[in-house]
Amino acid sequence: SQQGEEDPQALSIQEGENATMNCSYKTSINNLQWYRQNSGRGLVHLILIRSNEREKHSGRLRVTLDTSKKSSSLLITASRAADTASYFCATDRHTDKLIFGTGTRLQVFP
């Protein structure tokens, strides 16, 4: 399977703490994206990082990409209860298809 893997599968933290999720993939990529999904809902695009970029920031989000290790991380700083959701990475291989990772379920306790 070309699907990426994410770890941890589940993460529980307190409000104010930072949350770090990791994504590993198997093949060379063009872009890597992170999405959030609230329970039973659609996906919300968070951030896109291109294969020639190493780090990207958006508000409380920080994404890194290491193409040599075929991995990416998503850091959410100063987490809030509203950040509770599942987070997925998605990669594309110079095609119009997105391959999603297995996801990390984040629970932020107030």
Partner 1 sequence: GAVVSQHPSRVICKSGTSVKIECRSLDFQATTMFWYRQFPKQSLMLMATSNEGSKATYEQGVEKDKFLINHASLTLSTLTVTSAHPEDSSFYICSASLGSQLETQYFGPGTRLLVL
The residues that touch partner 1, with contacts defined as CB under 8 A, are 3, 30-31, 33, 35, 40-45, 48, 88, 92, 96-103, 105
Place of tokens 């770890």: 7
Residue number with CB closer to partner 1 (44 or 78): 44
- Cα separation, 94 vs 92, in Å, equals 6
HSE-up (13 A, CA, CB side) for residue 28 = 2
Residue number with CB closer to partner 1 (7 or 92): 92
Residue number with CB closer to partner 1 (77 or 107): 107
Question: Shortest gap between Cβ of 3 and partner 1 (angstroms)?
Answer: 7
- Cα separation, 63 vs 54, in Å, equals 8
Question: Shortest gap between Cβ of 90 and partner 1 (angstroms)?
Answer: 8
Question: Shortest gap between Cβ of 101 and partner 1 (angstroms)?
Answer: 6
Question: Shortest gap between Cβ of 103 and partner 1 (angstroms)?
Answer: 5
Alpha carbon 51 to its chain's center: 15
Residue number with CB closer to partner 1 (37 or 77): 37
Asked if 35 and 88 touch (Cβ cutoff 8 Å), the reply is yes
Using only the alpha carbons of the chain, give its radius of gyration: 13
